[in-house]
Amino acid sequence: MTESDTTSIDGKMIPSILGEGEEEAWHGSGVESCIVADTQMSSLAPPPSPPIIQWDIEVPTHLVGRLIGKQGKFMNFLKQSSGAKIYVSTLPFTHDIQICHIQGSQQQVDEALSLVRKKFKDLDLSNCAPLPCLPITSWLLLPQDVFVEVMVSRVEAAHHLFVHQHSHPSHQVLPTLIQAMQLCYSQPGCPSLPTPVEVGVVCAAPVTGSGWQRAQVIQYDGETGTTHIRYVDSGGYDTVNSTTLRQIRSDFVTLPFQAAEVLLDNIMPLPGDEEFSLEAKEALEESTANVALILKVTGSQDGLPLVHLWKQAGDEMVLINRSLADQGFFSWFDTQ
């Protein structure tokens, strides 16, 4: 068995757009279980449970009916005979193949594969989990030294926000991706993230009222069992129970991450204040809600782009950074 790595976005990455014919598989390693016994009772402790592994095989769609059997007869036979957990899932961007997932101990998986091989002698039963060298996605970067049209997807603070390049071709694919993830992760049996959760890993995270979204692990707290994540398509941060996160399939990370995180340039908190006020944040939200804006990258700070944002106001283009400063929500300073 080869245990595949979960997807991380450390280092430089090249953007790509979803395409047909790409290998579909789960990114991430299988979930292992263990029994922790008190050292004084070690002689009475049960033997460690065998590691739980997952084996995914590609099944041509025209064979899926035979694999399941009439009224699920063959699938039930596989489960009862092997003791493995077995289910079939569809792939969102192809109708030619489906994935048969087999979960259990090494012995259970081997037994299930042996039974499948007896019925489908020509079926390739190799694990279709991706190799670590598969290309991974990147952020949809903001262009430098040019004006670009954006819409604000989330405001974190008066100077800190996320934007979408809503006219970019890849952004048009995002609704399809979100729908596909909802269909996939609403099914039982999707693998959880292994613990301890690795910082930098890309995963699927549930969002109340919004289905499932792609997220990146920012920090893991083993004592509380919580994980701090960044939503890479809608923007924003959250701290969630680690058990709610799921491993993400490789076909779900071919679309560039859509939310660009930026900082407003040439502004700072009001004199005497250490932080930007909640009123300033609300003013920025009101000024940028549901309207196309013009953005230009002016520099960088702490690894994030510094930007100017303009908004159409009648016949004029108003610099939001300066306008909100003039209204007294924060202070303006000129770049030296």
Residue 22's pLDDT is 37
User: Cβ neighbours of residue 238 under 8 Å, at least 6 residues apart?
Assistant: 205, 228, 229, 231
Residue 45's pLDDT is 53
| Cα–Cα dist 140/9, whole Å | 13
Which range has the worst mean pLDDT, 45-54, 180-189, 194-203? 45-54
User: Cβ neighbours of residue 80 under 8 Å, at least 6 residues apart?
Assistant: none
User: Cβ neighbours of residue 39 under 8 Å, at least 6 residues apart?
Assistant: none
In CATH, the architecture of 174-252 is: Roll (2.30)
* Cβ contact 102:67 at 8 Å: no
To the nearest whole number, what is the mean pLDDT of the chain? 83
% pLDDT > 90, the chain: 62
Tracing tokens 């309207």 back to the chain, one arrives at 291
- CATH of 39-119 among 3.30.1370.10, 3.40.430.10, 3.90.1150.10, 3.40.50.150: 3.30.1370.10
Q: What is the DSSP letter of 243?
A: G
Pick 131 or 273 by higher pLDDT.
273
- Reduced to 3 states (helix: H, G, I; strand: E, B; else coil), residue 160 is strand
Count Cβ atoms below 10 Å from residue 286 Cβ, excluding itself: 10
Domain 148-167+258-332 in this protein, CATH class: mainly beta
Q: Where are the domains of the chain?
A: 39-119, 148-167+258-332, 174-252
For the segment 139-167, the average pLDDT, to the nearest whole number, is: 94
| Cα–Cα dist 249/246, whole Å | 9
Residue 61's pLDDT is 86
Please state, in angstroms and as integers, the Cα–Cα distance from residue 113 to each residue in 90, 109, 117, 197, following that order: 20, 6, 6, 30
pTM value is 0.61
| Cα–Cα dist 151/293, whole Å | 6
Mean pLDDT comparison of 77-91, 102-116, 132-146, 181-195, highest-scoring range: 102-116
Whether the predicted pLDDT of 274 surpasses 60: yes
Residue 46's pLDDT is 58
User: Cβ neighbours of residue 242 under 8 Å, at least 6 residues apart?
Assistant: 193, 195, 197, 220, 225, 226, 227
| Cα–Cα dist 323/264, whole Å | 12
Whether the predicted pLDDT of 116 surpasses 80: yes
Q: Which two three-digit tokens encode residue 288?
A: 């940028």
Phi, psi angles (nearest 5°) of residue 114: -65, -40
Residue 88's pLDDT is 85
| Cα–Cα dist 261/295, whole Å | 13
